[in-house]
Amino acid sequence: MTSSTDAPGEVRLELSGLTKIYPSVIANDDVSLKVKKGEIHAVLGENGAGKSTLMKMIYGVAKPDAGEIKWEGETLQVESPAHARSLGIGMVFQHFSLFETLTVVENIALALPGDPDLKELAKQITEVSKKYGLPVVPHRLVHALSVGERQRVEIVRCLLQNPKLLIMDEPTSVLTPQAVRKLFDTLRQLADEGCSILYISHKLDEIQELCHVATVLRDGKVTGDCIPSEETPKSMASLMIGKELPVCQHDGLAVVGEVRLRLNKLSQPSDDPFGTNLRDIDLEIYSGEIFGIAGVSGNGQQELLYALSGEQPLAQNDLIEICGIQSGSLRPDARRSVGMGFVPEERLGRGAVPQMSLADNTLLTAHGAQMLKYGMIRFGVVEKFADRCIAEFNVKCGGSGHAAQSLSGGNLQKFIMGREILQVPKLLVAAQPTWGVDVGAAAFIRQRLIDLRNDGAAILVISEELEELFEISDRIAVIANGRLSPAKKLADTNIDEIGVWMSGMWPDAASIEESDYA
């Protein structure tokens, strides 16, 4: 890792008056901060506050329009990510920078200098992943990995580079509580060895527990700083959003109606040799309830979502019923036509086409909302719907004509969630609904899900954030190694019990093969 001769407390990185201006927004406005050796420094702010842009300038992805960067006392301009890595700067991106058609070891090799031996590198990956409790399979293709597994690859890739400064943009957004604990141990160990860490997260309890100091950004400007251990999540939220943190109003189970989703002994082998087979999943979700599914990433969530969305149609039509209609072999558009909305866990690629405008991305899934007439697109209706989504869900962007890839991760998530909720589906399936959004926006999205449920929709939420599931769900179950546990009402269980179940240890559970759990 970093040299033991580094004197703790010395300034490693200093930013002075950093400014970045895009055509439609000032992303960073005269930002200054200092990061010391061995310091874990949080950067707080709402979605669109300029956090990710600031990190990209440090890492050489974007060039500042004004201001200077000092690295270990010397003024320099970081020309590229390769230059940043040569200085000892590593970054874990919120939007993963991985080639999907390459294996894990091939992706990691691309970030390392020279021409590393892949066989030896695979051994190093296995050793590092085991040491830090972040299991990855070196020869697995990235396109077959879940979001949580890709997150692990990004983190392991950075750790292999022995960084002096490690930038982490929402590193725990798709990790389980157990994996978060192990990651925190890793980060503390790195800091003790002299590594500096810039840490972005919307999970304020994590900031309070982990970080030594915090800088707050709002609308691209530094608005203050604090020592997280002397604050509360509530007080830090107020610093971020300038007002009291909203609280979800969940008044107990709404009136339960008809079955909107039924799975009948759903079994499906995975196409991926490293994937998880679904086995004998029985499930009924009713109108007027939110059903939460917890689980460690890589235990069948991805396969279940593909089966539910119709992206992987089943041979037997009766394995899945949507709103009373046998739908196992139906394609995604046919499932939407019977009343289902769907939010995938991958924002860019499945949730939205990066190069297309927000309006065109709206048309892709909401065309049934009177956007077509006699086979022709009603562009005015499309734009009006997209504008409504931007306004109601406070999506910070340059307008509905801007490309999806121009948005920050949290703002794109708000747009995708808004696009599906505003269609008022009879059944909504949502994976990681608040991934990467700030605390205020997360509370707003969760409240909109509760409101949709109160209006009679059936909602299935698959999330690796147990706190989120316990905040919004009426019933909860766990998926482990491709099997689904019995469902329990929230009043009849707790986070500790569900945490145990996530390892497959629920009462009367069938024997589950030994597997790696983060």
Say which residues have a Cβ less than 8 Å from residue 493's Cβ, sequence separation at least 6: 476
Predicted local distance difference test score (pLDDT) of residue 79: 93
Q: Which two tokens stand for residue 108?
A: 């990691």
Topology of the domain covering 11-241: Rossmann fold (3.40.50)
Rounded to the nearest 10 degrees, the angle between the axes of helix 379-392 and helix 409-421 is: 120
- Is the confidence at residue 359, as pLDDT, over 60? yes
H helices then E strands: how many in the chain? 16, 23
Between the two ends of the chain, the Cα-to-Cα distance in Å is 23
Topology of the domain covering 259-501: Rossmann fold (3.40.50)
User: Which residue do the tokens 């010397």 mark?
Assistant: 74
pLDDT single digits (tens) 1-13: 333 334 446 999 9
Strands, sheet with 74-76, edge to edge from the N-terminal-most edge strand: 25-36, 11-22, 66-71, 74-76
Predicted local distance difference test score (pLDDT) of residue 518: 39
- Is the confidence at residue 428, as pLDDT, over 90? yes
Predicted local distance difference test score (pLDDT) of residue 254: 58
* Dihedral in degrees, nearest 10, Cα atoms 319, 324, 330, 336: -130
CA distances from 362 to 7, 407, 444 (A): 53, 15, 20
Task: Return mean pLDDT, the chain.
Answer: 88
Give 255's pLDDT tier (boundaries 50, 70, 90): low
pTM above 0.85, yes or no: no
DSSP 503: T
Q: Are strands 213-218 and 325-326 parallel, antiparallel or unpaired?
A: unpaired
Give the pLDDT mean for 69-78. Answer: 94
Q: Are strands 11-22 and 66-71 parallel, antiparallel or unpaired?
A: antiparallel
Q: Where in the chain is the domain with CATH 3.40.50.300?
A: 11-241, 259-501
**Longest Cα pair distance anywhere in the chain, in angstroms?**
73
